[in-house]
């Protein structure tokens, strides 16, 4: 079988003669890149990335075509992160306290337990000196990172055993956390029995009772249908979490400056829309999840913070992150211990 290639086409028609707007769609884009995410296409992280990619394609006359692969289609977070570093994947969104912290330990800084209390504190820190400090570490590790972090949200605990009202209720509970030292340490310090499991395995781990609970913002409990396999939802707000937009450096450097600018501008602009989506969802989803059968309660944070102080959690992480980083976190979130 003979194949009619692009070269044959150009030879047959005479490339110089080709003009007109239809030409853009007839050619492959100059930069065909993949973007992997761990969340379903309906979650604002994936949905807004798809929109951002479309805007970039339009604004570069089709030269940059980023295809978004949501829902762990390219593998779980550890696999996607490996692919990003090797160049098999060009773009990846990841929480700083998740897979990224295995390479850049300081990226976990923004995930310290019971640090941020309000979104004002979060954006002041992450769009300010704290975020700048973290991005410098990420860049130093050889990755490209966009300026604005996208929102995951304040995390809440769901489980099948009982409502978590104070820290004692977590005692010995088998709870899934993302794969990251800071997360394991947080839940161990709170007295629970955490396991690091990548997000693509969470639904089945809950369904088969490998673990009794997990913790995520309400938007994820909703779009990933965790309410089907979880009964209680306790509003702990124990950690704020966000997604850095990362690019493989060799892939990024292949693009001319003009296209890099268009890509960065759109990632950073769509970040603001995505943050708004998440704030709205997380403030409105309680009722919808209650209608699906979840039982909500508000946890009281004082006993949790007290346990973190007395267990040495804050002191240990302060040492781990160093004084400069810790001061930046406290400048944004207030004194921790």
Q: Which residues would be at the binding site for ligand X2X (CB under 6 A)?
A: 38-39, 95, 98, 152, 178, 199, 216, 220, 241
Show Cβ contacts of residue 217 under 8 Å, excluding neighbours closer than 6 positions.
152, 153, 154, 155, 156, 241, 278, 282
Shortest distance in whole angstroms from residue 325 CB to ligand X2X: 20
Question: Which residues of the chain form beta strands (DSSP E)?
Answer: 31-36, 64-69, 91-95, 143-145, 150-154, 156-159, 174-177, 193-196, 213-216, 232-235, 240-248, 295-298
CA distance 218 to 224: 10
Shortest distance in whole angstroms from residue 262 CB to ligand X2X: 27
C-beta of 39 vs 170, nearer to ligand X2X: 39
Shortest distance in whole angstroms from residue 165 CB to ligand X2X: 23
C-beta of 188 vs 330, nearer to ligand X2X: 188
C-beta of 98 vs 159, nearer to ligand X2X: 98
C-beta of 98 vs 274, nearer to ligand X2X: 98
CA distance 196 to 179: 4
User: What residues does 144 pair with on adjacent strands?
Assistant: 247
C-beta of 31 vs 244, nearer to ligand X2X: 244
Shortest distance in whole angstroms from residue 90 CB to ligand X2X: 19
C-beta of 39 vs 259, nearer to ligand X2X: 39
Shortest distance in whole angstroms from residue 60 CB to ligand X2X: 29
What single-letter DSSP state applies at residue 211?
S
CA distance 48 to 271: 8
Shortest distance in whole angstroms from residue 95 CB to ligand X2X: 4
DSSP one-letter string for 162-176? ----SGGGGTT-EEE
């Amino acid at each position: 079988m003979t194949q009619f290639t692009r070269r044959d086409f150009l030879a047959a028609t005479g490339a110089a003669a080709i003009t007109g707007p239809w030409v853009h769609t007839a050619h492959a884009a100059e930069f065909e890149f993949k973007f992997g995410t761990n969340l379903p296409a309906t979650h604002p992280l994936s949905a807004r990335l798809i929109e951002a990619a479309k805007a970039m394609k339009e604004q570069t006359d089709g030269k940059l075509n980023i295809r978004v692969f949501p829902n762990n289609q390219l593998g779980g977070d550890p696999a996607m992160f490996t692919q990003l570093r090797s160049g098999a994947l060009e773009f990846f969104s990841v929480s700083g306290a998740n897979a990224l912290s295995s390479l850049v330990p300081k990226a976990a800084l923004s995930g310290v337990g019971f640090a941020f209390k309000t979104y004002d504190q979060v954006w002041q820190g992450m769009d300010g000196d704290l975020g700048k400090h973290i991005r410098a570490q990420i860049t130093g590790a050889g990755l490209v990172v966009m300026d604005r972090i996208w929102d995951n949200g304040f995390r809440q605990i769901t489980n099948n055993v009982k409502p978590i009202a104070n820290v004692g209720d977590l005692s010995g509970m088998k709870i899934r956390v993302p794969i990251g030292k800071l997360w394991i340490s947080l839940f161990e310090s709170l007295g629970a029995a955490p396991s690091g499991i990548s997000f693509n395995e969470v639904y089945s781990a809950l369904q088969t009772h490998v673990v009794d609970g997990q913790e995520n913002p309400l938007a994820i409990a909703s779009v990933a249908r965790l309410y089907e396999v979880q009964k209680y939802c306790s509003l702990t707000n124990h950690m704020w979490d966000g997604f850095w937009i990362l690019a493989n450096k060799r892939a990024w450097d292949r693009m001319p400056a003009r296209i890099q600018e268009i890509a960065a501008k759109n990632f950073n602009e769509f970040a603001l829309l995505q943050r708004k989506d998440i704030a709205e969802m997380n403030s409105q989803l309680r009722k919808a999840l209650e209608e699906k059968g979840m039982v909500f309660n508000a946890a009281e944070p004082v006993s949790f913070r007290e346990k973190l102080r007395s267990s040495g959690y804050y002191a240990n992480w302060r040492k781990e992150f160093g004084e400069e980083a810790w001061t930046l976190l406290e400048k944004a979130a207030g004194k921790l211990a």
